[in-house]
Structure 1
Amino acid sequence: MKFKLAIFDLDGTLMDTSSGIFATANKAVELVGRKPEHDISQLRKFIGPPIIECFINTYNLEEELIADAIEHYRKEYDIRGQFGAKEYPCMKSTLGKLKEKGYQLAVGTLKPESLALSMMDHFGFAPYFSSIRGSDLNSKLSKADIVNKVLADLGVDATDAVLIGDTVHDEEGARVANVSFIAVDYGFGFPRGQQKTNSMIGVVSSPEELLSLL
């Protein structure tokens, strides 16, 4: 066993949450008087960064509208958006096999922590994880901050942990937190066929491929 702890991003890594996120984001901007976005490549910018950056990068939303847009987004996502997520094929069986190998498993996401807990419970993922950590409601925490909270929860050194994620924001968070990083190219950020970089220990195209690296 190469590590003691595997930390999973949520959006684009554990689950395909895109349909709920895109629909909710479009509704939120409409509620603050702006036009929705229908270009999928543009909408993909909404997944990965902190939510304030998401509204700026995707919609070029004015600063004075962002707080209201975030409030609308969170209300709508709590009611409907989160339930449009789909787990990636073989994800749960892969998690089970990693636990059989002796790994501790955790979630580290920029979603609000209360929402991450709700989704992991609703979709039956919660029993696999020893720690589920997310952002605060002010969106002030970085990915590295969240990873460090997981490490503290479980008493694991950074050198014994690996973060698994689908965006450069995950890659950067792993670097800052001094944990290893595995990229997945089936999510939203890295393109299919993503080449391994110096900061990655590997790239996988399906959940099952993680078993060959861990």
Structure 2
Amino acid sequence: MLANAILFDLDGTLTDPKLGITSCIQFALSEIGYQPPEADELNWCIGPPIKDSFSQLLQTSDETILTQAIALYRSRFSTIGLFENTLYPQIIETLKTIRLAGYQTFVATSKPSIYAIQIIEHFGLSLLFDHVYGSELDGTRSIKADLIHYILVQENLLPASTIMVGDRKHDIIGAKSHNLTTIGVTYGYGTEQELTIHGADFIVHSPDEIAKLLRLEN
């Protein structure tokens, strides 16, 4: 596989953020008078932009309601929820192997970069990435295709030599819109069927398989 740069999604790819994200969604819904679903019923909210998730949960496109829900979500997430998170096994070893092989590595997440940077620092991953890219709090670059375009321009990366690794269809669709090679991971929150339907070039079932796919491990 001819590549020199790899973009990694954050939620469901590097870390498991289920407790933090679902707890903050439940908190926001309760605060505005809605009965929140159980945590397991909110797994689909892990990956997409949070505004899209609230729009579906509340069955509304009303900007006032969505803005209120997001503000409540962030009031808990910014102090508690972002640390209710765990690193997937083998991630550190996999990233070290990839870095030692000479690849540039970047985080590419729809999560606001102000939170993504804190999470990467919290888990001691800062030295394993060239840069952490995310959206802005106003929603700018929350669409994966927009974010990937921004990264390609900022880092002067060639699509033909850049790989996107992610667990949801948004990662695959966004990368494919710029002709990147895609690796879908099934240990996160997207199914193999979801990833395959949307055109993932490769599928892996654990972090160490990423390095094996790149032929960095036996």
What is the TM-score normalised by the length of structure 1?
Answer: 0.92
Task: Confirm or deny that 1:37 pairs with 2:37.
Answer: yes
Task: Confirm or deny that 1:183 pairs with 2:145.
Answer: no
2:109 matched to which residue of 1? 109
Contact 2:187 2:205 in 1 (8 A): yes
Equivalent pairs counted in the alignment come to 212
SS at match of 2:140: coil
Identity between Structure 1 and Structure 2 (%):
32
Instruction: Determine the C-alpha separation between the residues in 2 that align with 1:101 and 1:180.
Output: 18
Following superposition, the deviation at residue 144 of structure 1 comes to 1.3
Following superposition, the deviation at residue 140 of structure 1 comes to 3.4
Task: Confirm or deny that 1:78 pairs with 2:58.
Answer: no
1:171 matched to which residue of 2? 172
Q: List, as ranges, runs of 4+ consecutive aligned residues in structure 1 with deviation greater than 6 Å.
A: none
Contact 1:194 1:203 in 2 (8 A): no
SS at match of 2:102: coil
SS at match of 1:73: helix
Structure 2, unmatched stretches of 5+, are none
Following superposition, the deviation at residue 118 of structure 1 comes to 1.0
Contact 1:120 1:126 in 2 (8 A): yes
Following superposition, the deviation at residue 101 of structure 1 comes to 0.9
Following superposition, the deviation at residue 197 of structure 1 comes to 5.4
- More divergent stretch after superposition (21-30 vs 198-207): 198-207
Instruction: Determine the C-alpha separation between the residues in 2 that align with 1:89 and 1:59.
Output: 34
CA 1:166–1:198 in structure 2 vs 1: closer, same or farther (change >3 Å)?
A: closer
The amino acid across from 2:183 in the alignment is I
Following superposition, the deviation at residue 62 of structure 1 comes to 6.2
What is the TM-score normalised by the length of structure 2?
Answer: 0.91
RMSD: 1.8
The aligned runs of 1:1-214 (5 Å cut-off) are 2-38=2-38, 40=40, 42-60=41-59, 63=62, 64-141=64-141, 142-191=143-192, 196=196, 199-214=199-214
